[in-house]
């Protein structure tokens, strides 16, 4: 595996890359560079934990939706069909979570005796379950370079799901209420469902940090402020409704705007994930090879 990746790295330095106007804001790591379209480069792909490398020719001969070859930190990479599928599922999970939340939260703004309000309130647990599932799907597919952060968000989600189930079976159901209504009537129950919303806060924080999205940045503050305000009892109902309405609007904008981004944005630098999948000795060998290549290119440049 290491020898394949090393050969890919060597190929990536064979022809100096050039800038193509890609925005540096498309990823949290250094900006991606586009390799010249007329060069033959090596393509790195990761399938079921195995690393594969193969030569590819001119971009004009490629048949994938995104024919661009991107130069990552550890080698060239392209967007393949599995990447597109994962990104679409990731964004669909966000849309599912946002839609479920907005429908459920809208009951707070309808008259108590209205037919629509009654229908929503009777199905609040269903909306909550669907929304939690959508968020879980997105957290499973999210691309974060630091694996520990991704695992932490997933653990928070799982803890929130367990807490929600425990609250429903042990507290809400015996009291004859749905989970959401029980949390509204008993603010201390926020402790049980809070980790799930902490995971959501982490996700929108990542999106705001990586892509500079205002709605994501605002959600990073609104979500915990509303939950903590309800938990502590220091926030009156008028402020809660204002924050809830803001959360609903921003969540819709956030989820909708995800589909306006290029697919590659949610992938990030794919070579980083492939590098992280290597063993420690393979990583060291690759880094040494890259350093040698850079040194060789520097000498050639100085001799010119």
Domain assignment present for residue 78? The answer is no
Domain assignment present for residue 104? The answer is yes
Domain assignment present for residue 274? The answer is yes
Share of the chain above pLDDT 90, in %: 56
pLDDT at 80: 86
Q: Are residues 212 and 256 in the same domain?
A: yes
- The tens digit of pLDDT for each residue in 83-115 reads 899 999 999 999 999 999 999 999 999 988 888
Number of neighbours of residue 266 by Cβ within 10 angstroms: 23
Q: Are residues 22 and 50 in the same domain?
A: yes
Q: Are residues 155 and 40 in the same domain?
A: no
pLDDT at 82: 87
Q: Are residues 119 and 242 in the same domain?
A: yes
CB-based burial, 47-67: b 16+ in 10 Å, e otherwise? eeeebebeebeebeeeeeebe
CA distance 151 to 157: 10
Using the predicted structure, report yes or no on whether residue 72 has a pLDDT greater than 60: yes
Domain assignment present for residue 133? The answer is yes
pLDDT at 24: 35
Q: Are residues 117 and 134 in the same domain?
A: yes
Q: Are residues 57 and 183 in the same domain?
A: no
Domain assignment present for residue 64? The answer is yes
- The tens digit of pLDDT for each residue in 211-245 reads 999 999 999 999 999 999 999 999 999 999 999 99
Domain assignment present for residue 210? The answer is yes
Decide if 246 contacts 281 (C-beta within 8 A).
no
- The tens digit of pLDDT for each residue in 238-287 reads 999 999 999 999 999 999 999 999 998 898 888 888 788 777 887 788 78
Domain assignment present for residue 231? The answer is yes
Q: Are residues 40 and 150 in the same domain?
A: no
One DSSP character per residue, the chain reads -HHHHHHHHHHHHHS--B-----GGGSSSSPPEEPPTTS-EEEEEEETTEEEEEEE--GGG--SS--PPEE-SSSEE---HHHHHHHHHHHHHHHHHHHHHHHHHGGGGS-TT-HHHHHHHHTHHHHHHHHHHHHHHHHHH---SSHHHHHHHHHHHHHHHHHHHHHIIIIITTTT--HHHHHHH-GGGHHHHHHHHHHHHHHHHHHHHHH--HHHHHHHHHHHHHHHHHHHT-S-HHHHHHHHHHHHHHHHHHHHHGGGS-HHHHH--HHHHHHHTS-HHHHHHHHHHHHHHHHHHHHHHHH-
Q: Are residues 190 and 123 in the same domain?
A: yes
More confident residue, 33 or 164: 164
Q: Are residues 111 and 142 in the same domain?
A: yes
Domain residues for the domain of 225 are: 83-260
Of 260, 279, 295, the domain-final residue: 260
CA distance 140 to 151: 9
pTM: 0.74
Q: What is the total count of domains within the chain?
A: 2
- The tens digit of pLDDT for each residue in 184-209 reads 999 999 999 999 999 999 999 999 99
Q: Are residues 7 and 33 in the same domain?
A: yes
Q: Are residues 205 and 140 in the same domain?
A: yes
pLDDT at 289: 80
Q: Are residues 173 and 286 in the same domain?
A: no
**pLDDT, average across residues 158-186:** 96
Mean pLDDT (the chain, rounded)? 80
More confident residue, 24 or 291: 291
pLDDT at 297: 65
Domain assignment present for residue 198? The answer is yes
């Amino acid at each position: 595996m290491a020898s394949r990746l090393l050969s890919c790295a060597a190929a990536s330095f064979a022809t100096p890359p050039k800038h193509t106007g890609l925005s540096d804001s498309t990823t949290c790591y250094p900006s991606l560079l586009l390799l010249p379209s007329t060069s033959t480069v090596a393509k790195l792909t990761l399938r079921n934990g195995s690393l594969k490398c193969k030569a590819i020719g001119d971009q004009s001969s490629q048949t994938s939706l995104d024919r661009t070859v991107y130069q990552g930190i550890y080698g060239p990479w392209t967007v393949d069909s599995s990447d597109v599928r994962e990104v679409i599922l990731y964004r669909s999970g966000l849309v599912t979570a946002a839609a479920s939340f907005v429908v459920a939260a809208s009951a707070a703004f309808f008259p108590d005796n209205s037919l629509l309000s009654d229908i929503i309130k009777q199905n609040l647990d269903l909306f909550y379950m669907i929304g939690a599932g959508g968020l879980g799907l997105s957290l499973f597919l999210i691309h974060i370079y630091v694996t520990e952060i991704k695992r932490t968000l997933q653990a928070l989600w799982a803890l929130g799901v367990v807490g929600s189930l425990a609250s429903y079976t042990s507290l809400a159901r015996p009291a004859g209420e749905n989970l959401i209504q029980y949390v509204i009537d008993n603010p201390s129950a926020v402790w049980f469902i809070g980790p799930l919303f902490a995971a959501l806060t982490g996700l929108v924080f990542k999106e705001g940090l990586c892509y500079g999205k205002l709605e994501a940045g605002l959600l990073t503050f609104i979500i915990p402020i509303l939950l903590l305000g309800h938990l502590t009892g220091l926030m009156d109902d008028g402020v809660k409704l204002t924050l809830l309405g803001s959360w609903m609007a921003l969540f819709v904008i956030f989820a909708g705007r995800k589909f306006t981004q290029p697919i590659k944005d949610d992938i990030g630098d794919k070579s980083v994930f492939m590098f992280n999948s290597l063993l420690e000795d393979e990583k060291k060998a690759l880094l040494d090879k890259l350093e040698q290549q850079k040194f060789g290119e520097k000498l050639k440049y100085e001799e010119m």
